[in-house]
Amino acid sequence: MKTWSVVAIQNDLSRWLAGIALALSLGVGLSLGLAANAAADESAAAPIAAPAPAQATLAKIVSCECEASQCGACEVETGVSFYTEKCGPANSKVKSCKKPSCKPAENHKQCMAELKAKQDAGRVPASAAAPARSGEIILVVGDARVRRAGQARDENLTQGATVFAGDLLMTGVDGRIRVRFPELSEMFVSPNTSIRIEQATGSTGTSRKIMMDLMKGKIRSRVQGRYGEDPSKLPPGESASTFQIRTRTAVAGVRGTDFVASFEPGQREWTTEIRTLTGEVALAGLRGDGRPMSVTAKTYAAHVAVIPAKPGGAEPTDEELRSAPNFLTPVFKMSDEDVRELDRDTMFALREPVGGDSLVDAGRKPAQVDASLCSAPSGQFNDCSWTCEGKNPSGASRCRTDLPGVSCVRRLCRANGKWAEPTVLPTRSADECQVDRVRVGTCGAY
């Protein structure tokens, strides 16, 4: 029996480890050799690939089918032209096709601008899009400010500024603002007034919605267009337009008219008053538990909410306002002197008295309305012109807006003495344009 000494064990262990190392090295070498031989055999068995030739230049094969062609979005078709072209393999065939002849539309620049605006709007995420334009400030006098939606600071208003939905307009003791909406309705904001533009969308020929919250003070609205129509009497697919002024206790629904709305939240009585110069206004409590009262031309009426006294003069909550006793006054007539005084008090001319005098200093007599004239054709400030434009058929007795390229176009005479950019009226407005001349007159209802 072998004796296992320490030295012997060490020697045997060294020889055993050396053997394992040799075996491993031989195994790895054998594996590598076998893999190399297999790759060589596979390479020998496979056909030898020819070197890749340089890419051949192939003649373009033109299809023998005619391509669909049409005028651009801001062009009109004036005719058709024909062309021939070789086609097929090796250009062995000939095709004959037609394409439209196009020219820029009458309102090409405006059309391209609107098209670009739509494309740009499509690229802007909804969350980053700017609020919709609701109106334009065309007159500012004295202390007039705006608080934009989502902002804590007020901005001073300037002439030409844009009004957006959600804006709160505010005037001080000497402040006045004149706002024009897209469909040409105007609002005159008197001193010491706060009013929020909740919504003002749509223009001529579309369903329009103008909704405002009168917080306090007085405004005059000169409404252009038809509002509050009976939906059953409208053309299929067209919805009724809405013009509303709300206070915290009442609502005034408007048809095409000229009227003054005022709201005074007193200590015990909160009064909403409507004075109508032309047209008709429907006045009702905001609760909707009574029948609206019709306030017609040269009449006035009020809605009164009786508010319970609160400690420290705290303002009532909406729930307290809804539950407060309220009533509508009778409808009273206005005298001619009342109407003249209302005109003097609420109409702001586009040019104020010179020399630093305010309207109050001048005895509350407003300056004359800007007498600037538009030319070609001749028109007064705020007049409208109607023109039949395009290739109206010779001998036609009316503006054929039912034909491509024929439009009834309206323009507004602005304060700078120039006709504003054209507005193409809907097809049903064809009778407003005459075929033999440009018609000029008051804008009226449209």
Worst-scoring range by mean pLDDT, 62-71, 136-145, 304-313?
62-71
pLDDT digits (tens, 9 = 90+) for 243-281: 889 998 999 888 768 899 999 887 788 899 999 998 889
Contact (CB, 8 A) for 373 and 379: yes
Q: What integer pLDDT is reported at residue 361 of this predicted model?
A: 34
Instruction: Give Cβ neighbours of residue 191 (< 8 Å, ≥ 6 apart).
Output: 142, 171, 172, 173, 174, 175, 176, 217
Q: Name the one residue in this structure whose structure tokens are 């344009």.
A: 433
Task: State yes or no: pLDDT of 347 exceeds 80.
Answer: yes
The single-letter code of the amino acid at 170 is M
Residues written for the chain: 446
pLDDT band of residue 145 (cuts 50, 70, 90) is very high
pLDDT digits (tens, 9 = 90+) for 272-313: 999 999 888 999 988 776 788 999 999 999 999 888 777 776
According to DSSP, the β-strands at 176-180 and 155-156 are unpaired
User: In 322-425, which ranges are E strands?
Assistant: 326-328, 332-333, 373-374, 379-380, 383-390, 406-412, 423-424
Q: Which domains can be identified in the chain, with CATH numbers? A: 62-129 (no CATH), 131-230+238-346 (2.60.120.1440), 373-442 (no CATH)
3-state secondary structure of 356: coil
Worst-scoring range by mean pLDDT, 28-37, 82-91, 123-132?
28-37
According to DSSP, the β-strands at 242-246 and 209-222 are parallel
d(CA 390, CA 332): 51
d(CA 59, CA 289): 82
Mean pLDDT of all residues in 45-62 = 47
Q: How far is CA 444 from CA 143, 185, 256, 323, 412, in A?
A: 32, 10, 9, 41, 12
Find, among 261, 274, 275, 282, the residue nearest to 218 by Cα: 261
pLDDT band of residue 420 (cuts 50, 70, 90) is confident
Q: What tokens appear for 83 in the block?
A: 């062309």
Q: What tokens appear for 370 in the block?
A: 């800007």
Q: Quote the mean pLDDT of the chain.
A: 74
pLDDT digits (tens, 9 = 90+) for 8-50: 445 555 555 555 554 444 444 434 444 444 444 444 444 444 4
pLDDT band of residue 62 (cuts 50, 70, 90) is low
